[in-house]
Amino acid sequence: MTELQAYKKIYRYNKQSKIKYWALGIFISALVFMFLPWTQNVRSRGIVTTLRQEQRPQQLNSIIPGKIVKWYVKEGDIVKAGDTILQIGEVKEDYFDPNLIARTGQQIDAKELSIDYYKNKVTATQNQIGAIETGRDLKQSQLQNKIQQLQIKLQSDAADVTAANNDFEIASKQYKRQQAMYDSGLVSLTQLEQRNAAFQNAQAKKISAENKFANTKQDLNIAQIEIAAINQDYLEKMSKAQGEQFQSMSQIAGGQGEVAKLQNQASNYSIRQGMYFITAPQNGQITKAKKGGIGEIIKDGEMLVEIVPDRLDYAVELFIDPVDLPLIDNGQKVQFLFDGFPAIVFSGWPNASYGTFTGVVIAVENAVSYNGKFRILVMEDKTAAKKWPYQLKIGTGAQGFALLKNVPVWYELWRNINGFPPDYYKPNQKNTDGAKK
């Protein structure tokens, strides 16, 4: 059988085995591989977004309810800030009048004219009050003069009463003596009658003086009462005039309030008319039109279209498991794989990877997201030699891995077998502290 060619080729019985050399080489290579450096990392998926909020896609909403009158753009069009997107019309009957602002202005003018009239009435009432006060003062002066005259007359009448009383007492005494003398027969009856007549005259003068004094005193009381009555009368007139004045002032205040309300309405009407045309707030592309056609009714606050700004500072939002959150810090480097861009990745040897892009962590949220993970925001590393591709679009998928500590391969295998987390440390601590300062 040794002479058969097939036997010689199959069994190779006369060849020396080299398996031990292969085994030794593999063992030495594996041993060397175990001591190669390995970069620990935390992997996560995310999407491309923007660094600033105003650069993200935004909705254009209708501030007022209405109906669509005309579209000026279509989906996919590029617009500039201030370009008209669409025109809407009114659906509320309160705003149908095309001359609404002009008519409101006429109402304001009429109300302001009414206020002017009331102001003139207040001025006239004030003049009337002044005239009433002047008339009252004149009447009071006249009565004061009359009272002074009556007081002087009263003093004169009092003197006349005193003189009449003295004459009466003298005449009375003389009459009594004359009567006694007549009874004694010393004087005649004629003399007695003469003395009696003098007595009667003195008594009449006394009564007349007393009546005159009483009348003067009564006139003085009447004059004083008349002063009080005049004061009361003029007080009523002034109170009535002041009431009319205050009523006019109240009408003025109410009119001014109505004018302010009408001016507010006119301003609102003017601003509302400026809302009939929806304009682009910034440069961008029109997408996601929610309404179509002409005459379709829209509600206030309803989304009409979405605009994607043309100027973007791209960033990537990643979602990190809570167990890996302490390993992430601001300023930490992150490598990315973007969907649609070919790459060959060795996560443990980032320098040997191809097609990856470098980013820097700029924000780590402290609140958990809807998916139970923590959101971090990563921006482009401006110092990296390879720039992010300009073909990126918002919403593009991205896979990132944050680079951590360099360890041997055997340590990384041992850590994964035992389920230990990566080593925790904060990279670029000095630079981060300087940026915070």
Verify that 265 and 208 share a domain, yes or no.
Answer: yes
Verify that 268 and 280 share a domain, yes or no.
Answer: no
For residue 367, give the CATH number of its domain. Answer: 2.40.30.170
Q: Is residue 147 situated within a structural domain?
A: yes
**pLDDT exceeding 70 applies to what percent of the chain?**
87
Q: Is residue 350 situated within a structural domain?
A: yes
48: left (phi over 0), alpha (psi -120 to 50) or beta: beta
Confidence of residue 433 (pLDDT cuts 50, 70, 90): very low
Verify that 216 and 291 share a domain, yes or no.
Answer: no
Phi and psi, residue 344, nearest 5°: -120, 120
Q: Which region among 171-185, 238-252, 361-375, 410-424 has the lowest average model confidence (pLDDT)? A: 410-424
Predicted confidence at residue 8, as pLDDT, reads 59
Domain of 300 in residue numbering reads as: 58-90+276-308
Verify that 291 and 347 share a domain, yes or no.
Answer: no
Q: How many domains does the chain have?
A: 3
pLDDT (tens digit, 9 = 90+) per residue, 262-282?
899 888 888 888 888 888 988
Verify that 323 and 281 share a domain, yes or no.
Answer: no
Q: Which of 90, 118, 64, 92 is nearest to 258 (CA)?
A: 118
Q: Is residue 7 situated within a structural domain?
A: no
pLDDT (tens digit, 9 = 90+) per residue, 190-213?
877 887 888 888 888 888 888 888
pLDDT at 221 over 80: yes
Q: Is residue 10 situated within a structural domain?
A: no
Q: How confident is the model over 277-303, as a mean pLDDT?
A: 86
Verify that 215 and 344 share a domain, yes or no.
Answer: no
For residue 71, give the CATH number of its domain. Answer: 2.40.50.100
Verify that 119 and 245 share a domain, yes or no.
Answer: yes
**pLDDT exceeding 90 applies to what percent of the chain?**
1
Q: Distance (Å, rounded) from C-alpha 230 to C-alpha 225?
A: 9
Verify that 78 and 159 share a domain, yes or no.
Answer: no
| Residue matched to tokens 């990856």 | 356
Predicted confidence at residue 353, as pLDDT, reads 54
Verify that 85 and 211 share a domain, yes or no.
Answer: no
Verify that 235 and 280 share a domain, yes or no.
Answer: no
